[in-house]
Structure 1
């Protein structure tokens, strides 16, 4: 299995002792090549779960295995090698504002570079053709030598995702990849991520606020609320009533999606 969680509980280091855990008693299994979407209201724990899968948060309790290994039972060097098999794409990618896009994208290869190679790549990009090809898949081929601070929010988001294409990761963890994109770009971006994951048989775990897009594009949905899994089921088995209960008492309710709707007919409007 790519990921296996058993009664996993995670607490943020800065949280007070009497506060509820960020994640509570989660049971979750993700197989190689599987694609699933995490949905749920703001503060449900989606980002924390992705960071935990990326070995960025140490669980407080429960079992956690990545590629059959407990990352927190490994040495620091071994855990670093394990993390190199994962790629976490945050909603706001940490791109240095004055850096050129080509350099920012090629940074995906830093875990496999020596210190000297990394410094040399800052001066002269090691493989601009590969960076251009990755950017072109997200419609950003013309931004290769632009400065990061000249990009729009949506362009920066896709620039961060282009890094993913240059990684050799066996599991792709993507947080809100379409939050700054219009409907057409959102569909194209999700399709590109899913094609890439399928091509390398990598697991893809993607958090989305756009429930209708999640239901239209992903075969499995995991609903989170208050740090707990409310449901984990094939998308065809997730009803409008289950979605409504997941977002109960939220200020904005999701729009229902019906089985006859195709992805091209579904808007991206509602965000939660």
Structure 2
């Protein structure tokens, strides 16, 4: 049997070191290499903490944690850093330097592969603007190649962060709420590009989504998270309306939209370019 890309067993993560507050409570999860999974749940469920933990940003308080068959927190610092080069975390609000040009911000995804000299040179003369343009074009942002980051709208910054993912060489893609600032048409374009990119390199994709209907339409497997616990983990065909209602009990789930029910098969691949 192939080693899973992600394996969590009874994993507990606290809000702060030494804190009694639990952000993730006895979470067990296994994700195969190349699998695409959506994580859904109400605000404060622990979705962002889960992705940050997978990105080796939070050290678990207890339980077992393995990426590509190895425990990152049992590694020496240099080994853990090398493991991090196999991951890419796209946060909901990308940390893009406001005074930087978009081309430079996107090419920063190549930093793990570059020498210090290449990185410094690219700040003055972007090393591969063609690649940056191609990545941005997949999110309908090619015309912003030389714009300043602080001139972008919130949705444009979000897509710029996703273009970074395309230029990474990561085997595990962790994407947090990528559609929060996008309209339905751009949301479909962004998800199509993300899924095609992951499939093209056989990378594992774990994506947290606030848009439940988008998750149900686009992802073959859904993980429902609430109060730091996994409520369900099932193929989308087995996720019923009743399960969704229970997940969001006493919460207000996102309203369904007929536009959001459109499946990936209904969207031409060329829409991403």
TM-score above 0.5: yes
Q: Which of the residues 1, 5, 8 maps onto 1:5?
A: 8
Matches within 5 A, 1:81-100: 81-100=82-101
Aligned to 1:107: 108
Aligned to 1:247: 248
1:175-201 CA-to-partner distances (Å, cap 9, x unmatched) read: 000110000000010000000000000
Say yes or no: does 1:136 pair with 2:137.
Answer: yes
Q: Secondary structure at the match of 1:22?
A: strand
Q: CA deviation at 1:257?
A: 8.7
The count of residues paired between Structure 1 and Structure 2 equals: 260
Distance in structure 2 (CA, Å) of the matches to 1:119 and 1:257: 46
1:193-236 CA-to-partner distances (Å, cap 9, x unmatched) read: 00000000000000000000000100000000000000000000
Q: CA deviation at 1:256?
A: 6.2
Does structure 1 conserve the Cα–Cα contact (< 8 Å) formed by 2:176 and 2:207?
yes
Does structure 1 conserve the Cα–Cα contact (< 8 Å) formed by 2:171 and 2:204?
yes
Matches within 5 A, 1:150-161: 150-161=151-162
Q: 1:32 to 1:140 in 2, by over 3 A?
A: same
> Can you give the 5+ residue segments of structure 2 that lack an aligned partner in the other structure?
267-273
Matches within 5 A, 1:181-200: 181-200=182-201
Matches within 5 A, 1:120-135: 120-135=121-136
Distance in structure 1 (CA, Å) of the matches to 2:91 and 2:145: 21
What TM-score do you get using the length of structure 2 for normalisation? 0.92
Q: Secondary structure at the match of 2:225?
A: strand
Does structure 2 conserve the Cα–Cα contact (< 8 Å) formed by 1:55 and 1:83?
yes
Q: CA deviation at 1:16?
A: 3.6
Q: CA deviation at 1:255?
A: 4.4
Does structure 2 conserve the Cα–Cα contact (< 8 Å) formed by 1:215 and 1:257?
no
Q: CA deviation at 1:117?
A: 1.5
What RMSD in Å do the two structures reach over aligned CA positions?
1.6
Does structure 2 conserve the Cα–Cα contact (< 8 Å) formed by 1:86 and 1:173?
yes
After alignment, is 81-90 or 106-115 more displaced?
106-115
Aligned to 2:269: none
Does structure 2 conserve the Cα–Cα contact (< 8 Å) formed by 1:107 and 1:163?
yes
> Can you give the 5+ residue segments of structure 1 that lack an aligned partner in the other structure?
267-272
Q: CA deviation at 1:254?
A: 4.2
What TM-score do you get using the length of structure 1 for normalisation? 0.92
